[in-house]
Amino acid sequence: MRFTKTLLATAFLAALPMMASAESQFTTGITTPITASAKVDFTIVVPKIIYLRVGTGTNLANNVAVDLVTFTVPAANIGDSTAVAGTGGDLTGGVVTARVVGNNGIVTLSSSTTGNLTTGVAAEAIPYSQITTTPAVLTSATALPAPALASGATTSIALTPVNRVTNQDARWTYTYLNNAVAASGTYGGVNVNGGRVTYTASMP
């Protein structure tokens, strides 16, 4: 029995170096000062992320809401190049919140459309070049620029990161230029008649 206990105690003592995960140091002597030191190593793992918000949303979270911006042209100003402000958008007045966050290099921000805005009749069309996007500072020091809108095309801009990190936002104000007389009717809509713009952010 005593022999068994001795074996167990020896095995336990032998396992102690393997069980310990922190460094220790014992010092003795008569000098001044007397010191002992120990070290700890740390690792922080940060995943790669990309986040894009245009309009209603929650920061760094998913939201499926799609905002509708509407331009109503006054009858007395149809086609006279008097710019028309919008209604709607999460900031109202045709203004939306835009934000991009990425942490692995240059972010490419794009806008895509399937074609002109129409009334449902192909010949009755308003090109996306008639809608401008004007950025203004929101919370970041530099306003997030906006890719131009173009009918049936994708336009892109590159966002320059700092230490591979991009974190920019802006107030984007949409305006209808109203440069031509258009047939009466409602052009575009909620994902109909070419009314939807899809924004995409991509990163290596």
The distance from CA 20 to its chain's CA centroid, rounded to whole angstroms, is: 44
Strand runs labelled E in 29-185: 50-54, 84-85, 95-102, 107-112, 117-118, 125-126, 131-136, 154-159, 166-176
Residue 7's pLDDT band (cuts 50, 70, 90): very low
Can you read off the two tokens belonging to residue 31? 């000098």
pLDDT value, residue 138: 98
pLDDT value, residue 57: 94
Rounded alpha-carbon distances, angstroms, from residue 119 to 66, 92, 124: 20, 25, 6
DSSP 61: S
| % residues pLDDT > 90 (the chain) | 83
**Average of per-residue pLDDT across 90-99:** 98
Residue 126's pLDDT band (cuts 50, 70, 90): very high
SS3 87: strand
**Average of per-residue pLDDT across 84-100:** 98
Other beta carbons less than 10 A from residue 81's beta carbon = 9
What ranges do the domains of the chain cover? 50-202
pLDDT value, residue 21: 56
What is the per-residue pLDDT across 136-173, written as a single tens digit (0 to 9) for each? 999 999 999 999 999 999 999 999 999 999 999 999 99
Other beta carbons less than 10 A from residue 31's beta carbon = 7
Please say if the pLDDT value at position 175 is more than 80: yes
pTM: 0.84
pLDDT value, residue 31: 87
